[in-house]
Amino acid sequence: MDNNNLEQITFGGGCFWCVESCFNMLNGVQSAISGYSGGHKDNPTYEEVCTGETGHAEVVQITFDPKIISYAQLMDVFFFLHDPTQLNRQGNDIGTQYRSVIYYKDGAEKAKAEEALKKSEKSGKWPGKYVTEITQFEKFWPAEQYHQGYYNENPTQPYCSAVVGPKIQKFKKHFGELGMLNEA
């Protein structure tokens, strides 16, 4: 990877344990870090974010090489991994911290996010109206260390085995067939 040309994207698609694990498997992704964005409290804790009172979403900040994986491909993965028609929830995970959101840094990124959302809506993969927010990026707060790589460290934890594991298997099958997964 060309470290001089790396870019970042930050978005939330429900529980960050699912999203972070999958993005870390993609060719061209240097890192996917679980954290929090979109709230009004500096350096929030997981417990604070879970109350819904800080305004943060659980997000993943992805550092990637656009020569290997494009913004559009990352958006395809984003819309594959979660249901963008569910307002403030993903399955049984309910609360504003689980909202579907894309954070953009400039007008060009905003336009790309809007285009990706329209493309996904037209695909019909998720029937219903999309509720994904497209919001100006302000700050990313990394989640506590125990959240980083959580699924890899805790695959038998009940939530991981019941929810995260099946989602990762579906992801690996689909994006593996497309040749987008790294070998590691």
Instruction: Point out the residues that are catalytic.
Output: 15
H-run or E-run covering 154? none
Phi and psi at 139, nearest 5°, equal: -155, 145
Residue 92: Cβ within 10 Å count: 10
Integer Cα distance of 138 and 125 in angstroms: 30
List the structure tokens of 36: 């929090």
Secondary structure class of 151 (helix, strand, coil): helix
**In the numeric block, which tokens belong to residue 91?**
């399955």
Cα dist from 152 to 133, 164, 168, 181, whole Å:
29, 10, 11, 16
